[in-house]
Chains A and B, each alone.
Chain A
Amino acid sequence: MEWIALANPSRFLGLAERLLPWLVGATALAFAAGLYAAFFVAPEDYQQGQTVRIMFIHVPGAWLGMLGWAIMSVAALGTLVWRHPLADVAQKTAAPLGAAFTFVCLITGALWGRPMWGTYWVWDARLTSVLVLFLMYLGLIALWRAIEDPSRAARAAAVLTLVGAINLPIIKFSVDWWNTLHQPASLLRLGTPTIHPAILVPLLIMVVAFTLLFFTLYVSAMRNEILRRRVRTLRLLQAQAARGF
């Protein structure tokens, strides 16, 4: 089947029905392997102790938060260029997921920061840019909720998503600048030293597991959204019929 044929919502629904059990199974397997590796295989860090295990949730959260915006940007192009309803659905359903994973990233970061830095929050460049990303997700969701007509909402949200996609790297860059200005000696050394394979391999398995979870939730959210729109259309038709048009 050509990929373009999937742009038909009914075909997409069919594919989603066939795909979802496999996705759920793969997610469960990946989590079983990942959680085992994270808790029993990965050693404690000589400095961070047990708290290093928070990274197994934190890092996938950060990655999926950014992936969410990337997916929305591609879908936004689909909305504006082809005006395709499935692109609208893909845009809308990615926003809460991306926001949720960004939130997970923030919360786990704070929980890790408390024992490691002695405080839940520091205005570090990385934390701040993730916070701005989270706020932009919330603004976008607020925009979706402000317009009743779904296709109009999709077009307004698409423009904002693309403007955000242009702006997010600039925000990241400016926050880095701002941080070096205010806080010359950063506490953060994470990422600069190479990560030992004993921790890196479980981390990668967890990243795969969370990514599978993301797509499981994403496909089912898109399916639900398509069905929700069909119910809405049916209700509108019913109401029209009842008024005798």
Chain B
Amino acid sequence: MTALAALLVRDMRLAVRVGGGALMGVLFFLLVVTMVPFGVGPDLKLLARIGPAILWIGALLATLFGLDRLLAADHDDGSLDLILMSRAPLELAVATKAIAHWLTTGLPLVIAAPLLGIFLNIDGPAIAVVALALLVGTPALTFIGLIGAALAVALERGGLLLPVLVLPLTVPVLVFGISAGDAAMAHAAPFGPAFLILVALTLMSVVVGPFAAAAVLRHGLD
């Protein structure tokens, strides 16, 4: 247990120090959200309507582009081999790494979302709901992405392959995340069911992600 706690602290430290990518994700998120009005025009009504969707797409992309650092950096300097050989179960170790990754890249996105919501003319209560949905949904993105990160390490060439493999698997999270956000904006769908299914998706990916990633690392790195 202490080994896992040490791993968590180490990963978070590495992420916030020089060379870590912790705040790059938020910056990227900000840029994606800023680019959208250039694409669709400065119409505030339209932006308010598609706002939750823009926030979700931005969070999805920001999460994805941070993922290749999740395991690859450890693979490069050899610490992944130590983690593989350690007595702590590999499933828990990769789950810990994913949690550290989410705390340093996912959580800042959630915190930044309300501010970006103002840019997109989303009103107060709706912003809160969208942020809540992001808080619950982004761990699912990280844990699904964990599988892709493990595959990228096993391939020794990540690049575009990682998003190609991971994106289709994130369709359900996107659907329910956005429909929970839409519910808050007085659209048709009820908030409760969508939100609960989003919670269920997160819980499921927290289970499936580490097992699949550990399987890839065990089988793929020999």
11 A-B residue pairings within 8 Å (CB atoms): A135-B167, A136-B168, A142-B165, A146-B161, A155-B219, A156-B220, A163-B208, A171-B168, A171-B172, A175-B171, A177-B194
Q: Please tell me if A164 contacts chain B, counting CB pairs below 8 Å.
A: yes
- Residues on the A chain within 8 Å of B82, using CB: none
Is there an interface contact between B161 and A132, defined as CB atoms closer than 8 Å? no
What DSSP secondary structure best describes chain B's contact surface? Answer: helix
Q: In the complex, what distance in Å separates the CA atom of A75 from the CA atom of B165?
A: 19
Is there an interface contact between B154 and A139, defined as CB atoms closer than 8 Å? no
Q: In the complex, what distance in Å separates the CA atom of A184 from the CA atom of B188?
A: 10
- Cβ contact of A160, chosen from B151, B171, B175, B179, cutoff 8 A: B151
How many Å from the CB of A103 to the closest CB on chain B?
Answer: 16
- Cβ contact of B155, chosen from A147, A159, A171, cutoff 8 A: A147
With A156-B219, A159-B216, A163-B147 already in contact, the answer to whether A170 and B168 are too (CB < 8 A) is no
Chain A: residues with Cβ within 8 Å of the partner, total of 31
Is there an interface contact between A162 and B169, defined as CB atoms closer than 8 Å? no
- Residues on the B chain within 8 Å of A16, using CB: none
What DSSP secondary structure best describes chain A's contact surface? Answer: helix
1/0 contact trace for B129-157 toward A, CB 8 Å? 00000000000000000010001001101
Is there an interface contact between B182 and A80, defined as CB atoms closer than 8 Å? no
Q: Please tell me if A32 contacts chain B, counting CB pairs below 8 Å.
A: no
Q: Please tell me if B31 contacts chain A, counting CB pairs below 8 Å.
A: no
User: Size band of the B side of the interface?
Assistant: 20 to 34
- Residues on the B chain within 8 Å of A6, using CB: none
Which chain A residues (178-198) contact chain B, with CB distance < 8 Å? Answer: 178, 181, 184
Q: Please tell me if A119 contacts chain B, counting CB pairs below 8 Å.
A: no
- Residues on the B chain within 8 Å of A132, using CB: 168, 171
Is there an interface contact between A147 and B154, defined as CB atoms closer than 8 Å? yes
1/0 contact trace for B180-222 toward A, CB 8 Å? 0010000011000010010001001000100010011001101
Q: Could you say which of A132, A138, A142, A178 has the most chain B C-beta atoms within 10 Å of its C-beta?
A: A178
Q: Please tell me if B18 contacts chain A, counting CB pairs below 8 Å.
A: no
Is there an interface contact between B208 and A170, defined as CB atoms closer than 8 Å? no
Is there an interface contact between B161 and A142, defined as CB atoms closer than 8 Å? yes
Is there an interface contact between B212 and A181, defined as CB atoms closer than 8 Å? no
How many Å from the CB of A127 to the closest CB on chain B?
Answer: 14
